[in-house]
Amino acid sequence: NAGVTQTPKFQVLKTGQSMTLQCAQDMNHNSMYWYRQDPGMGLRLIYYSASEGTTDKGEVPNGYNVSRLNKREFSLRLESAAPSQTSVYFCASSRDRGNNEQFFGPGTRLTVL
């Protein structure tokens, strides 16, 4: 039981390049989330998926797109990376919305030059 896995662990991009961050969970959870963590700002929600087939914007969605590929997988895409997107990205999942704890992946450290 791996929990929440993320790939890659590290990535360096040049401005304007695109990439997709992958996330998968093996806990049969309905809800999945993408956060970014920046020094001094705490974690901020980018997008979430309450259930398979649905996605919604969080607090900071600009510059990102997401795909809930199936119940297990939720990917985050940067179409044209900018230095302001340098951050650590975390994927999380929970059984459902409501009073359910979130389980986090180990994170992807992204640098955009």
Partner 1 sequence: KQEVTQIPAALSVPEGENLVLNCSFTDSAIYNLQWFRQDPGKGLTSLLLIQSSQREQTSGRLNASLDKSSGRSTLYIAASQPGDSATYLCAVDQTGANNLFFGTGTRLTVIP
Give the footprint of partner 1 on this chain (CB under 8 A).
4, 31, 33, 40-45, 48, 50, 58-59, 90, 92, 94, 96-107
Angle subtended at Cα 106 by Cα 7 and Cα 108, rounded to the nearest 5 degrees? 45
Q: How far is the CB of 96 from partner 1 (least distance, A)?
A: 8
Closer to partner 1 by CB, 17 or 37: give it: 37
Provide, rounded to whole angstroms, the least separation between the CB of residue 25 and partner 1. Answer: 12
* Residue closer to partner 1, measured from CB, 61 or 63: 61
Residue 4 near residue 29 (C-beta atoms within 8 A) = no
Q: Which long-range contacts (CB under 8 A, 24 or more apart) does 54-59 make?
A: 58/33, 58/34
Write down the least CB distance from residue 10 to partner 1, Å: 11
User: For 108, what's the count of Cα atoms within 13 Å in the CB-facing half-sphere?
Assistant: 27
